[in-house]
Amino acid sequence: MITSNNPAWSQVLTNPATEFPLTPLSVISGSLPPQLTGTLYRNGPARLARGEQKVGHWFDGDGAILAVHLAEGKASAVYRFVQTDEYQAETAANRYLYSNYGMKAPGGFWNNWLKGIKNSANTSVLALADRLLALWEGGKPYALDLNTLETKGIDNLSDTLQFPFSAHPKVDPDTGEIYNFAVVPGKQTTLHIYRCHKTGKLIKQNSLNLSGCPLIHDFALTQKYLVFFIPPVRINLIPVLLGTKCYSDAMVWRPQLGTQILICDRDTLSPVSQATTEPWYQWHFSNGYEDQDGQIAIEFIRYDDFATNQYLKEVATGKTKTTAKGRLWTVTINPQTGQVKASSPLLDRHCEFPIVASHQVTKPWRYSYVTTHGEGMIPEQEMFNAIARFDRQTGNLTLADMGANIYPSEPIYVSQPDNLEQGWLLTVVYDGNTDSSEVRIYKGDRLNEAPICRLALPSTIPHSFHGKWSSLITPPDSV
């Protein structure tokens, strides 16, 4: 029940999340589709305080993974913190020891140098055939057991990964190859670009020098290219190195620099073109492809400035007031010059976490899925309480409005095994009215109807960032 003047969404962030072992899930309503077999994984910050210490930014929270296993009309789930070295050390000390995205290391300069930045492992996941990778853009991935979520340790991608592995890898639906990147600050900031085999083995990499120290969170993959938008955010590294500022506080919005567009060849990972256009900021891309004229079409969530970072910082306090409107946007780019040929909004409403069906990555697609607000919501005060399907062909938006004080996570599209163009949308929902969490399953083309199945989770799941569906493994039997 709502027990304070804070918004309902903040209740689930007040205390650290409660782990639970593999547990059968009861059905609240409806029934599980018998064809829906596989595992939904979600990752997000699940601990925002230790004792009287509180994190400085939502991005600082310790990562915890939820795995929801579905098979033969039955469901089970397990929820566990990622046991990073830093998490274990802070658990033993019962206090924060490391610097982070929005936190300075206790003790200032010397602790900052000696301990380094904490790997929160809290942003996304990548399910491989034999392990799950918990991802965080400032460090290497952590490997977990696909079924039990037991942490196995840092994963070096067959002992060849030397630098961080960012949180938004892209998987080619035809070859299974995995593409990713890392931004490594230094005297000369470097962009490392990776191509990996579907097993996770790193097979090719390239390094490019960047101007200043920008913030790059995501990229787009097409059939021929990797496309990076480098927004005009620059990190002043000196106070970070001296321990007087955290990374978030050292970031400066410099719109006069414009947004840089960097296009790299997908096979060689070498640059093809680079250009500068008007300033904007973006966290996430939904997809990209080459059109019939060879031009690159990219869809993403665009912000006018970097106020989104302040809003996300406020989330950790339980109250938000900053307005930061992200709109679904499209641009068309000449790949040989990097010049923007066309740019326009697709939706004039705040939304985030855009996705497409996994088999449509790098290809033309019709439907994009986002989280957004229902009618009458105040975006700067409330978290998203709806998921939606946007029809790129007609411009229509179909909304699944969860209602007051009910908050869904990023929707994950799962295709039917025998018909990729039909499928389901899965989302993990926090209900602030009852202080409970559940999994909701919708028919992908009927979001305006009630979910076809609702599954109760054993404990509340804090608002998470990203997830993935995997049908590569056979889910364990419910216990």
pLDDT digits (tens, 9 = 90+) for 40-56: 999 999 999 998 999 99
In the prediction, which pLDDT does 33 show? Answer: 94
Tell me the average pLDDT across 27-38: 96
State the Cα–Cα distance between residues 330 and 472, nearest whole angstrom: 32
Q: Is residue 479 part of a domain?
A: no
pLDDT digits (tens, 9 = 90+) for 109-151: 666 666 788 999 999 999 999 999 999 999 999 999 999 999 9
In the prediction, which pLDDT does 473 show? Answer: 63
Indicate if the pLDDT at residue 465 is higher than 60. yes
Q: Is residue 3 part of a domain?
A: no
Which CATH number goes with the domain that contains 141? 2.130.10.10
pLDDT digits (tens, 9 = 90+) for 278-334: 999 999 999 999 999 999 999 999 999 999 999 999 999 999 999 999 999 999 999
Q: Is residue 179 part of a domain?
A: yes
398 touches 342 (CB < 8 A): no
In the prediction, which pLDDT does 167 show? Answer: 97
- Verdict on whether the full-model pTM lies above 0.75: yes
Flag the least confident range among 27-36, 73-82, 104-113: 104-113
Q: Is residue 373 part of a domain?
A: yes
In the prediction, which pLDDT does 308 show? Answer: 98
Place of tokens 């004229």: 293
Say which residues have a Cβ less than 8 Å from residue 114's Cβ, sequence separation at least 6.
none
In the prediction, which pLDDT does 187 show? Answer: 86
Q: Is residue 1 part of a domain?
A: no
In the prediction, which pLDDT does 479 show? Answer: 47
**DSSP letters spanning 383-435:** ---EEEEEETTT--EEEEE--TTEEE---EEEEETTEEEEEEEEEEEEETTTT
Grade residue 214 by pLDDT with cuts at 50, 70 and 90: very high
Higher pLDDT, 10 or 421: 10
Flag the least confident range among 129-138, 190-199, 377-386: 377-386
Q: Give the structural domain span for 63.
A: 8-470
Q: Is residue 99 part of a domain?
A: yes
State the Cα–Cα distance between residues 167 and 467, nearest whole angstrom: 11
In the prediction, which pLDDT does 242 show? Answer: 86
Residues linked to residue 399 through DSSP beta bridges, in sequence order: 388
Cα angle 30, 42, 230; round to 5 = 130
Phi and psi torsions of 358, nearest 5°: -60, -30
Q: What is the mean pLDDT of the chain?
A: 94
Grade residue 1 by pLDDT with cuts at 50, 70 and 90: very low
Rg from Cα positions in the chain: 21
In the prediction, which pLDDT does 111 show? Answer: 67
Q: Is residue 272 part of a domain?
A: yes
Tell me the average pLDDT across 246-269: 97
Residues linked to residue 234 through DSSP beta bridges, in sequence order: 214, 252
State the Cα–Cα distance between residues 346 and 169, nearest whole angstrom: 25
pLDDT digits (tens, 9 = 90+) for 335-369: 999 999 999 999 999 999 999 999 999 999 999 99
Cβ neighbours around 288 below 10 Å, total: 25
Q: Is residue 350 part of a domain?
A: yes
Q: How many domains does the chain have?
A: 1
Say which residues have a Cβ less than 8 Å from residue 422's Cβ, sequence separation at least 6.
415, 416, 444, 445
Higher pLDDT, 218 or 378: 218
Say which residues have a Cβ less than 8 Å from residue 93's Cβ, sequence separation at least 6.
none
In the prediction, which pLDDT does 78 show? Answer: 98
- Structure tokens given for 88: 């274990």
